[in-house]
Structure 1
Amino acid sequence: MNLIPLQAIELAKKRLTSIIYHNPLSYAPKLSQLSKAQVFLKKENLQLTGSFKIRGAFNKLSALHEEGKLTHGVIAASAGNHAQGVAYSASHFKVKSVVVMPEATPLLKVESTRNLGAEVLLKGTNYDEAYAYALKMAKEKNYTFIHPFADSEVAAGQGTIALEMLDEQDLDIVLVPVGGGGLISGVASAYRLINPNVKVIGVSAKGARAMFESFHAKRIIKTDSVKTIADGIAVRDVNEGIFECIKQGVDDMVEVDDEEIASAILYLIESQKLVVEGAGAVGIAALLHNKLDLHPHQKVGVILSGGNIDVTMLNLIIEKGLIKTNRKTKFRITLIDKPGSLMKLTDLLTKMDANIVHVSYDRISTKLEYGDAYISITLETKGLEHKEKIRNIMLENGYKFSEIV
């Protein structure tokens, strides 16, 4: 697949006019200060269905509808966002849709897809296994398969994001999440054909690095497995056509790990008041963790590709983030098991202005000396300095303790 033709992207924009919510680029002052560049956010997490995927899916089904090829229904394989795009689009055109999702897909994405009218089947441990099942079913049932990225009409739909960005800002760099490559193919094609001076940089998850490794090796490298909290870009294999488009249109690729992605999600919640899923936060992770060599005069656009994060995952990220930034601390303390021991400890912590949020008491562990008890205690703290003060006071008062990580 060569670059997506500009006429195809412009046609997609016309088809999407009444469907897409236009989210203008917004300047992020705090992030700009941290990154030492001028950062602008493209908030596709606020898009209809919660992600950019509605663009490609709707454009593809629009093209099929115009050609009279939607008679038997459609089928797709997806970790969630493409699924919702296909389900919404199929409902719009009043055709049957079936979506095959990996078994570990977050419940939020499963239920959202069903609520949009699709029949959902959970098959396989990852996207690639779900994809294989969907292809088999498409052949058996005569459904039209809607690929999440390896399709020129889908990529053209995703490329409409670039047209909107080009209308608003003269950017120097655009950061784009990379999984299968549909989004970056469309975006890179638009920029190459309209303003080739803009650097298009892909950001992948370290736990799904097939496209990253392939890009830098200049040949397709397949991986055996994927494991990342960025489930929207957890793609194991590289499509040949998409890879050719990426080689022509993308300037560079960087990668971020799960800890860096988690910190970016937490940063967006706290500093930008935005809920963004793992795949959507990789560009911010790249900025926060200095994956790029930026200059103050440069304008950087970051595509926040989706916001459909599982609540359980979000809770874990917040909890781990609070501990990592020393705003929550957990200790296990050995006390003499007698009346008043716990009160003496809590009085000491109160004087240190440490808020106790959880306490558990263990007096039967086989590791304890006779007459002792373990206290596991979780505290709200005010940063590293406050935590160190608490540690020092406990040491001065003779407490034996260890930090629980």
Structure 2
Amino acid sequence: MLFSLKDLDAAVAVVGTTVKPTPAYAWPLLASRTGAEVIVKHENHTPTGSFKARGGLFYVENLRRAGALPPGLVTATRGNHGQSIAIGAARAGIPAKIIVPEGNSREKNAAMAAFGGEVIVAGKDFDESREIATGYQASHGFMFVPSFHRDIVAGVATYAHELFTDHADIDAVFVPVGMGSGICSLITLRDLLGLKTEIWGVVARNAPAFAQSFEAGRPRPTPTARTFADGVACREPQPEALEIILNGAAGILQVGEDEIAEAIRILYTDTHNMAEGAGAAPLAALMDARERFRGKRVALILTGGNIDMPVFRQVLSGQTPVA
């Protein structure tokens, strides 16, 4: 197990000082569309607009409590993870260097800077930025923060704890898969609680690395991950996360760019919530598989709402953005 219930209790205490429990509502219009009872876990309602806020706070606080704070932190991100590390580092009084790929979301870059991070644009995509960040660690003496770490997963699991506390009888949960902290937190806590809930990961068809790796039973990197749903734009699955997913997920579903855009529109019209591409991917997957889940009680993790305004305008106008 990545973490214990004792670890989770510690995470709840730390994360709860900044991130209050987010709502999980059953939306009747979504039920009408899918034939299932649909509960949306609104992680778009955190202080950073994403579930990632939870992980960075717990990770940095554990370094502080252990007396192991480094001179600074460096990480790679498309935006949400970087915001969490920036806010955690600022609270600990140390700097954070955030490496983002070329063409990254301007609004996410601005948010990371506002939380105290120094944003450095380097790399053609997330995986290349991650390589640059590890090199920065070696040359500058900062600690590299990966996107997947047991303390990050334990912090993220506070949303899973909230969901299962309020809705223990869920038949299935749909969650987007980027680097794996969200889905692995759900799998680990479900198993610790002895629940029978199916956990379904969702990726973009244009970024299928985790889906192909799940099918092969081993890491299967892809040459590209070109999706406007940047939160799932991963081309190199990490073995530790993949092992947990292989052992605990019901499957990894793939959705197209048009389906993701349509899910963003539906979430806006049916719930009046903004969803970024990754946050809408679970609904896209449920819509595609609705016959299988008809009559079931299903939860969707709306992982974030950090979508740039020009992209959101495109989506609302009926277009599908191109990565």
Normalized against structure 2, the TM-score is what? 0.95
| Residue identity matched to 2:54 | R
In structure 2, the CA distance between the partners of 1:118 and 1:196, relative to structure 1 (3 Å rule), is: same
In structure 2, the CA distance between the partners of 1:221 and 1:71, relative to structure 1 (3 Å rule), is: closer
1:293 match: secondary structure: helix
1:125 matches 2:124: yes
Q: Can you list the C-alpha shifts for 1:152-203, whole angstroms capped at 9, x where unaligned?
A: 1111111111110111012111111111111111111001111331111111
| Greater relative contact order (Cα < 8 A, sep 6+) | 2
1:22 matches 2:21: yes
1:267 matches 2:266: yes
Q: What residue is the counterpart of 2:160 in the other structure?
A: 162
Question: Cα distance, 1:18 vs. partner?
Answer: 0.8
Question: Cα distance, 1:3 vs. partner?
Answer: 4.3
Segments of 5+ residues of structure 1 without an aligned counterpart are 323-405
Q: What is the RMSD computed on CA atoms of the aligned residues?
A: 1.4
| Residue identity matched to 1:259 | D
Q: Can you list the C-alpha shifts for 1:282-309, whole angstroms capped at 9, x where unaligned?
A: 011112233661131x211110000110
Question: Cα distance, 1:92 vs. partner?
Answer: 1.2
Q: Distance in 2 between matches of 1:5 and 1:17?
A: 18
| Residue identity matched to 2:195 | P
Q: What residue is the counterpart of 1:354 in the other structure?
A: none
Question: Cα distance, 1:91 vs. partner?
Answer: 1.0
Segments of 5+ residues of structure 2 without an aligned counterpart are none
| Residue identity matched to 2:152 | V
Q: Can you list the C-alpha shifts for 1:216-257, whole angstroms capped at 9, x where unaligned?
A: 221211111110011011011011111111122212211101
Question: Cα distance, 1:58 vs. partner?
Answer: 0.7
Question: Cα distance, 1:82 vs. partner?
Answer: 0.5
Q: Distance in 2 between matches of 1:274 and 1:321?
A: 19
Note if contact 2:176-2:203 (Cα within 8 Å) is conserved in structure 1.
yes
Normalized against structure 1, the TM-score is what? 0.76
2:293 match: secondary structure: coil
Q: Distance in 1 between matches of 2:250 and 2:7?
A: 22
| Residue identity matched to 1:167 | T
Note if contact 1:265-1:277 (Cα within 8 Å) is conserved in structure 2.
yes
Note if contact 1:175-1:201 (Cα within 8 Å) is conserved in structure 2.
yes
Q: What residue is the counterpart of 2:246 in the other structure?
A: 247
Note if contact 1:203-1:286 (Cα within 8 Å) is conserved in structure 2.
yes
Note if contact 1:261-1:285 (Cα within 8 Å) is conserved in structure 2.
yes
- What does 1:144-159 correspond to in 2, within 5 Å? 144-149=143-148, 151-159=149-157
Q: Distance in 2 between matches of 1:212 and 1:26?
A: 28
Q: What residue is the counterpart of 2:173 in the other structure?
A: 174
Q: What residue is the counterpart of 1:277 in the other structure?
A: 276
Identity of aligned residues (%): 31
1:226 match: secondary structure: coil
2:74 match: secondary structure: strand
Q: Distance in 2 between matches of 1:39 and 1:195?
A: 22
* Matched pairs, number: 319
